[in-house]
Amino acid sequence: MRKIILFLLVIITMLPFLSYGQGKVITGTVRDAGGILPGATVTEKGVAGNGSITDSKGKFRLVLKGSSNILIVKFVGYSTIEYHIGNKSEDIDITLASNNQGLDEIVVIGYGKTTRITSTGSVSTVSAADIRTVPTANVQNALAGKLPGFFSQQSSGQPGKDASDFFIRGVSSLNANGNKPLIIVDDIEYTYDQLQQINVNEIETISILKDASTTAIYGIKGANGVLVVTTRRGKSGKPQVNLRTESGLQSPTKTPRFLDAYQSALLINQAQANDGVPQEFTQSDLDLFKSGNDPYGHPNVDWYNKIFSKFTYQVNTNLDISGGTGQLKYFISGGALVQNGLLRDFPDPRGQVDNGYNFNRYNFRSNLDLKANKNLDLRLDVTTRFSGLNSPNESAASALSEIYDFTKQTPFTAPFLNPDGSYAYAYSRFNSAHLPTLNARIATGGYQNSKRTDYNVLFNITQRLSFITEGLSVTGRVAYASTEQFTRGTGNYDQIPSYHYDPVSKTTTKNPTGGYVFPSQYYSGNINIYTTNVNTQLFANYDRSFRKSHVTGLVLLTQSAQTFDANPFLDPNLVGVPAKFRGISIKGGYDYAGKYLVDINAAYNGTDRFAANHRYGWFPAIGVGYNISKEKFFHDALPVFGLVKIRGSYGLVGSDVAPGNKYIYAQNYVKGGGYNFGTSFTGIDTYYEGALSNANVVWEKQREMDLGLDINMLKDNSLSLTIDYFHNIRYDQLITPNNIPEVLGVDLPAINLGRTQNQGFDGQIGYHSHIGNVQFGTNLVFSYAKNKVLFMSEASPSYPWLARTGQPINQPFGYHSLGYYTTADVAAINAYQSTHGSNAGNKAIAVPDNGEVIQPGDLKYQDLNGDGFINIFDQRAIGKPNLPNTTLGLNLQASYKGFSISVLFQGSFNYSFIVKGTGIEPFQSQFQPIHQQAWTSANAGNAQFPRLTTSSSSINSPSFFPSDYWLINAKYVRLKTVDIGYQFPSKMLPWHLNNARLYLSAYNLFTWNNYNKYQQDPEITSNTAGDAYINQRVVNVGLQLGF
């Protein structure tokens, strides 16, 4: 470190020495954040034609001819920079910042590439180099805030299970599984699950395809948008080795705080006093809790801190080698990731198993390109990933949910260990199961370990047919992907021994639910993932320029067969039955001088999910673009614009995800349980009618319209803007009708009925410039997508506010809070009831109709139908769906010589959630600071929480009475990623190193949100306790070496 500082000082002191030199020979290296950059163009400013291209080691050599003493360095996908040479001439290090808004930026789309200037569709791209240093195991976690139109939610931070859910342009389908984007890696379909196993180091680019023009080629699978990943490939040149190793500290983004024994006991007494039942704790109990003088009779244990540590570490190492000769190019990489969990180490006294949370993953990839002869290319990509996911036996103890769960244990329930070292158990009336303490159950409850292997092979053969016509080629491709996972778990057959220690008599008593010795253990294991996917493709490609015209064309035949293990959405009988897909796609593009652009895409494809005569459909789309900045009049009038392109697309795409039974078209009779009849009560096989079939079932369809504007302006196109407006109608959605009476007497199938609208806009504004050698850039990414249910075959509700139609998908419904019942309210209710017999018809003040008696301080809700009762008929739309409809990302970066900094703020807005159950409800949740703000007659004016009560079904329960009192209209902003790096100057590099970069990176560093009722992370799934494994903040140090 001292060396670095020294070096820094040296550089700074050298700054003023500027000199001019003609004929000076300049040598140096061009890099980006990820390493050296072969193929970058280096030219001298002011001297046309004096330039050089960096070699395979990123090096260049240039003889200066002019007097500007400035180099212009360009590379596709990066901001062009002007480098002030100063008085240096050797070992100049130039670092380029990536910029996805460049004119020639290559944009990966389905089965091909285009550029920002010629694209008619709506595509967002991020270069993997930009996200490679984000310290997360999952590529989708690193994309939040980076891509316009990308919406994500990370609901767990557990090692190995922390991948975000993501959606492109929000959600459109009422069919819960029908919103997942198609994931395409090197033109082959992946599952969500497989994507999260990919090592970011292997990735070249990530694009999301958002409109019909770009997704129509996927036809029946394209309606949810497509995430396209390409992997890195070798480039001609000497072998280049890159080694990147990093290790980080993980800690929770938000640590829940619970009250101690004394404070909890006070609140328990308070609740019992409210309910008019005897109080649990005497004053002497309270004193002992407070003083801590009786640690065994009156324990006070901070379970969270006893169970979880504050930090844990993760390590990630990657090594890759790439290069190539004339015939063979290669990219070969290996990676290892180890993520540990926050659980403290509670060794099994039997010393047998690892019962912590941890995850490790090993990735290997070999991408080979062989040029067999002038016209024939072969390609073989082999990838495999091995991973191991370990956790305590979750059925015995799910650590975080039990920390919250008041009914399992409390701060005053038991000591951490008894004085003799034996395990204690929950010795309290509130813990009716009298379980051994959590540390005891984690230590002895067994474990679960999943071993997973992913295999992928892709073989590709391309024959150029230039002898027929220039630009024509034909490609055949076979890809196979499979995943296997086996889980082994162990657990106790019976409760482990635990004891209660009585400090008065100094005796221990055995827990009656357990024995004296550790019980025997059971084993549970099964193959819980087994998927295969075979995909074959044959396509002809045409790409040729004639003077000013440029023509592209593609005809693609593809088919695939996928088999799945049991997954919760599939009829278990369908395990191993292949799901087949087949189709033909065509694509044609024409542009005239890069000015007038037309793209036509269409797919004719189908799956065997549907009946033979309803299997295939056409999915056409057209995209047009007009590059007005290429018109002479425009350029003359407004030379400040480098690019002004308006574009639009319109088309039809589909989604073949059918809920439940895959074969909806076929009527099915179910073999029922063997019912027992007769004197001897013998089992007899039975049959009953399964859900009705729907012979006409077809895919969901989406009409997509997209209007876009691309602008680059100012000098060097330093300011760029892309904005898209979209309007989609998803129709023929597969939903179970809600308006067919039960008199029918049988389950209904999904029918093509639902219809929703989704519209919004997304885009980005980037500005990249430099002041001297200080380069800086900023990029603002914004996405907004708002959907609305147009038709969901809803039964006509008795009151208009109950209607779901017209609301967004997954709109929460609940009661509207009017504050708290006052003493006067309760008196008025009693008066009304004594004259009328019940509260029926009391228009002034309503009460719940579930028999719970109202007291002052209970939550008062609006009685929408005025019948005197609060019940389901008074629920109306409250808040917003759980998935944010607005996300923003603001990326700021700057670099000076070898130093670089990049920060990303990411925010999500316009969403709602409710925490319930063990997350917040007294006597289900541990007592939390908010409970101290509960309503009492003394603080009625500024209560932050309703009256505490021991009743679980009172009107104060968000589980029974969801309401806008409990609902948070949430927003948050995160300092999502930070990357501070230092690129060592070439001349400092020893041995054969050509690149060395030291960096500090962080993930989820700070979070700002707008609520204080709950302690949960803002990316919580609504209507849960929010007790999933807490999302992690990671601070990471890494070193990257190239040679």
Partner 1 sequence: MKNHITKILLITLAGTALICGCRKSETFPVDKVTDYFVFNPLDSAGDAAHGYLYQIYAIVKNGHNRVAGDYLDAASDDAVSSKSGTVQVRLMATNGVNSFTFPSGENFWEETVATGIPANSGTPSSYWAGIRAANTFITHIGAVPVKGQSPTGVPMRYVWQSEARFLRAYFYFELVKRYGGVPLLGDKVFALNDNVALPRSSFADCIKYIVNECDAIKDSLLSYPLVTPDADNYRPTKGAAMALKARALLFAASPLFNGGNIDAANPLTGYTDFQADRWTAAAKATQDVMNLNTYKLDNDYKDIFLTQNNSERIWIRPGSITTSVEGTNGPVGFAVGGTGNTSPTQELVNSFPMQNGLPITDPASGYNSSDPYATFTTPKRDPRLTANIFYNGSMWLNTTVQTFEGGQSKPNTNIQQTFTGYYMRKFMGLSENSTTLVQHSTDWVVFRYAEILLSFAEARNEEEGSPQDDVYKQLRDIRGRAGIDPGADNNYGLKPNMSKEEMREVIRNEWRTEFAFEEHRFFDIRRWKIAETVMNRPLTGISIIKIGSTLTYNPITVLNTAFVKKQYLYPIPYNEVAKNPNMKQNPGW
665 or 1029: whose CB is closer to partner 1? 665
* Least distance from partner 1 to the Cβ atom of residue 877, Å: 12
538 or 1035: whose CB is closer to partner 1? 538
293 or 738: whose CB is closer to partner 1? 738
Q: Return the number of other C-beta atoms located less than 10 Å from residue 177's C-beta.
A: 16
Cβ atoms of 537 and 187 within 8 Å: the answer is: yes
* Least distance from partner 1 to the Cβ atom of residue 560, Å: 11
CA 254 centroid distance within chain? 18
For the record, the structure tokens of 529 come out as 């993932």
* Rounded Cα gap, residues 564 and 575, in angstroms: 6
* Least distance from partner 1 to the Cβ atom of residue 614, Å: 14
16 phi/psi in degrees, rounded to 5? -65, -20
* Least distance from partner 1 to the Cβ atom of residue 882, Å: 16
876 or 976: whose CB is closer to partner 1? 876
For the record, the structure tokens of 85 come out as 């040479």
* Least distance from partner 1 to the Cβ atom of residue 512, Å: 13
875 or 908: whose CB is closer to partner 1? 875
Q: Return the number of other C-beta atoms located less than 10 Å from residue 19's C-beta.
A: 11
51 or 476: whose CB is closer to partner 1? 476
User: Which helix (H) or strand (E) segment is 981 a member of?
Assistant: strand 968-983
- Side chain identity at 79, as an amino acid letter? S
* Least distance from partner 1 to the Cβ atom of residue 585, Å: 13
- Side chain identity at 646, as an amino acid letter? I
* Least distance from partner 1 to the Cβ atom of residue 847, Å: 12
* Least distance from partner 1 to the Cβ atom of residue 24, Å: 53
373 or 942: whose CB is closer to partner 1? 373
* Rounded Cα gap, residues 232 and 202, in angstroms: 6
Helices and strands, counts by H and E, the chain: 11, 49
For the record, the structure tokens of 751 come out as 């029918």
* Least distance from partner 1 to the Cβ atom of residue 580, Å: 8
For the record, the structure tokens of 951 come out as 């009743």
* Least distance from partner 1 to the Cβ atom of residue 686, Å: 4
* Least distance from partner 1 to the Cβ atom of residue 634, Å: 46
User: Which helix (H) or strand (E) segment is 285 a member of?
Assistant: helix 283-291
* Rounded Cα gap, residues 383 and 47, in angstroms: 47
* Rounded Cα gap, residues 831 and 812, in angstroms: 35
197 or 811: whose CB is closer to partner 1? 811
27 or 463: whose CB is closer to partner 1? 463
* Least distance from partner 1 to the Cβ atom of residue 789, Å: 12
Phi-psi region for residue 431, left (φ > 0), alpha (ψ -120 to 50) or beta? beta
* Rounded Cα gap, residues 528 and 1038, in angstroms: 35
465 or 723: whose CB is closer to partner 1? 465
Q: Which long-range contacts (CB under 8 A, 24 or more apart) does 838-847 make?
A: 838/868, 839/868, 839/869, 840/867, 840/868, 840/869, 841/867, 841/868, 842/868, 843/868, 845/821, 846/870, 846/874
With helix as H, strand as E and coil as C, how does 206-275 read? EEEECCHHHHHHHHHHCCCCEEEEEECCCCCEEEEEEEEEEEEEEEECCCCCCCCHHHHHHHHHHHHHHH
Point out which residues pair with 43 in neighbouring strands.
51, 72
* Rounded Cα gap, residues 571 and 576, in angstroms: 11
* Rounded Cα gap, residues 188 and 331, in angstroms: 19
667 or 773: whose CB is closer to partner 1? 667
Cβ atoms of 166 and 152 within 8 Å: the answer is: yes
* Rounded Cα gap, residues 75 and 43, in angstroms: 11
* Least distance from partner 1 to the Cβ atom of residue 894, Å: 51
Q: Which residues contact 736 (CB under 8 A, 6 or more apart)?
A: 659, 748, 749, 750, 751
* Least distance from partner 1 to the Cβ atom of residue 736, Å: 5
User: Which helix (H) or strand (E) segment is 128 a member of?
Assistant: helix 128-131
56 or 559: whose CB is closer to partner 1? 559
Task: Give how far Cα 765 sits from Cα of 63, 650, 761, Å.
Answer: 37, 24, 13
3-state DSSP call for residue 783?
strand
Cβ atoms of 763 and 148 within 8 Å: the answer is: yes
* Least distance from partner 1 to the Cβ atom of residue 573, Å: 6
Q: Which residues contact 875 (CB under 8 A, 6 or more apart)?
A: 801, 802, 813, 814, 815, 962
334 or 737: whose CB is closer to partner 1? 737
* Least distance from partner 1 to the Cβ atom of residue 341, Å: 35
41 or 1021: whose CB is closer to partner 1? 1021
115 or 463: whose CB is closer to partner 1? 463
* Least distance from partner 1 to the Cβ atom of residue 648, Å: 35
